[in-house]
Structure 1
Amino acid sequence: MAGLARRTLARRLESVADFSDPNADLEQYLTPAELAAHLCHLAGLQDDLERRVIDLGTGTGMLAIAASLAGAGRVAGIDVDPAALALARRNEGEVLSERGRGRAIEWLRGDVTRHPFSTTDATVLSNPPFGAQRGNRHADREFLETAREIASVSYTIHNEGSQEFVESFAADAGGDVTHAFRAEFPIAKRFEFHTEAQATLEAEVFRIEWE
């Protein structure tokens, strides 16, 4: 099923609600609508939305909802936090309501590292923790390890300076980074340790084809 044009997709995604009480330990931040639209538009151009799409660590549901709007027919989002899943479901109801309910997203509670998926041919979308909080170091590696297990292709968002690590990980796992681009990741002040009203992180996005 054809999806929305990129600009229209970004505008629709601007109505995705942010966390009202984000969990700092889980690094819960809203994936920017423009970035989600760019990522899913690229996935559509690569025919990657024809497969089952799985959003690892879905949070607000931004990437799962973007994939559905972009034309994906089978979409699932998984998160360890039940409050995040409740928010994702509400966002689905608000954002997808205008386009009908024929392509409902499957929301699953679970740890990405102990996932319930048996597929090996999915398209994974993910904005994993950047590792800024204690206990989250190398969290993005765990998400890549799961992507390698269940996906034939994945799109992941990482902190600036991750390209060498991602390319090395992919190569060691028999994968190939086919696309890499930079993206701005604005973050509003949400936690006590934030010192500015808003900061903009430089992020890096990678498309990996897995064997």
Structure 2
Amino acid sequence: MAGPSRRALARRLESVADFSDPDASLEQYLTPAELAAHICHLAGLQNDLEGRVVDLGTGTGMLAIAASLAGADGVVGIDVDRDALELARRNERTVAAAASGHPDRTLEWLRGDVTRHPFSTTDATVLSNPPFGAQRGNRHADREFLETASEIAAVSYTIHNEGSQEFVESFAGDEGGDVTHAFRAELPITKQFDFHTETEETLEAEVFRIEWGPQG
């Protein structure tokens, strides 16, 4: 059965709550509902929601919940932060309550380190809004998420800082993958940390769909 329209999906996701006490070291920001809807709508059109979907660094649960609402039968959200997973569970309940009548989907939450993941699959669809590596000690954090995606995924959708296309295409090529779609996105960020100087700022980002080569 076809999932909801992109616009309807974005409306359902508007009730997903942001972090009340985000961890700067983990670069915890809310993925915009409109962007999550865009990614999962595209994934549905590409028939990428028919197998297992894994949201790496799920945070608020936005991408995992979006995939579930878009029609994915099995979704796993993994995060290293226990508080983030509790928020994701609350968001799942909130969205489910507002989407009465929607068929039940399998959605699991797992605490774990993305870089030392427990997944044995090689044909998942990965969704991820990884840390951009903007914080000290976090450099190349998005590379580690791509490394995991290349191990477990047949296809992935990842969000990166503006100017990442050359890096992403080079990394994918080295791992036998191919960037098939790329588009720009904006991430509005409200003032959450002491080092933020504006009430709200907009991060320019880029989203990439990668088809990964045969594993092994």
Structure 1's 101 and 44: CA in aligned 2 closer, same or farther, altered over 3 A?
Answer: closer
The equivalent of 1:130 in structure 2 is: 132
| Matched residue SS, 1:134 | coil
| Matched residue SS, 2:21 | coil
Amino acid in structure 1 at the alignment position of 2:171: F
Find the partner of 1:210 among 206, 209, 212: 212
| Matched residue SS, 2:29 | coil
In the TM superposition, 1:76-95 aligns within 5 A as 76-95=76-95
The equivalent of 2:62 in structure 1 is: 62
**For 1:20-48, what per-residue CA distance to the aligned partner results, in whole angstroms no more than 9, with x for missing partners?**
10000000000000000000000000000
| Matched residue SS, 1:49 | coil
Do structure 1's residue 102 and structure 2's residue 85 form an aligned pair? no
| Matched residue SS, 2:106 | coil
Distance, in Å, in 2 between the alignment partners of 1:104 and 1:175 is 28
Superposition deviation, residue 4 in structure 1: 1.1
Distance, in Å, in 2 between the alignment partners of 1:5 and 1:30 is 21
- Unaligned 5+ runs, structure 2: none
Amino acid in structure 2 at the alignment position of 1:71: G
The equivalent of 1:18 in structure 2 is: 18
- Unaligned 5+ runs, structure 1: none
The equivalent of 2:159 in structure 1 is: 157
Structure 1's 146 and 94: CA in aligned 2 closer, same or farther, altered over 3 A?
Answer: same
The equivalent of 1:198 in structure 2 is: 200
**For 1:161-203, what per-residue CA distance to the aligned partner results, in whole angstroms no more than 9, with x for missing partners?**
0000000000000000000000111100000100000000110
Aligned length: 211
The equivalent of 1:27 in structure 2 is: 27
| Matched residue SS, 1:119 | coil
| Matched residue SS, 1:105 | strand
The equivalent of 1:172 in structure 2 is: 174
Find the partner of 1:112 among 96, 111, 114: 114
Superposition deviation, residue 125 in structure 1: 0.0
**For 1:46-70, what per-residue CA distance to the aligned partner results, in whole angstroms no more than 9, with x for missing partners?**
0000011000000000000000011
Give the TM-score normalised by the residue count of structure 1. Answer: 0.98
Amino acid in structure 2 at the alignment position of 1:36: A
**For 1:89-129, what per-residue CA distance to the aligned partner results, in whole angstroms no more than 9, with x for missing partners?**
00001102324572131100000001011100000000000
Distance, in Å, in 2 between the alignment partners of 1:15 and 1:86 is 16
Q: Percent identity?
A: 82
Distance, in Å, in 1 between the alignment partners of 2:72 and 2:104 is 12
Distance, in Å, in 2 between the alignment partners of 1:146 and 1:79 is 13
CA contact (8 A) 1:155 1:208 kept: yes
Amino acid in structure 1 at the alignment position of 2:176: G
Distance, in Å, in 1 between the alignment partners of 2:200 and 2:83 is 24
Amino acid in structure 2 at the alignment position of 1:126: S
Distance, in Å, in 2 between the alignment partners of 1:131 and 1:208 is 20
Structure 1's 138 and 99: CA in aligned 2 closer, same or farther, altered over 3 A?
Answer: farther
CA contact (8 A) 1:69 1:96 kept: no
Q: Provide the alpha-carbon RMSD of the alignment.
A: 0.9
CA contact (8 A) 1:113 1:142 kept: yes
After superposing on structure 2, the runs of 4+ consecutive aligned residues of structure 1 that deviate more than 6 Å are: none
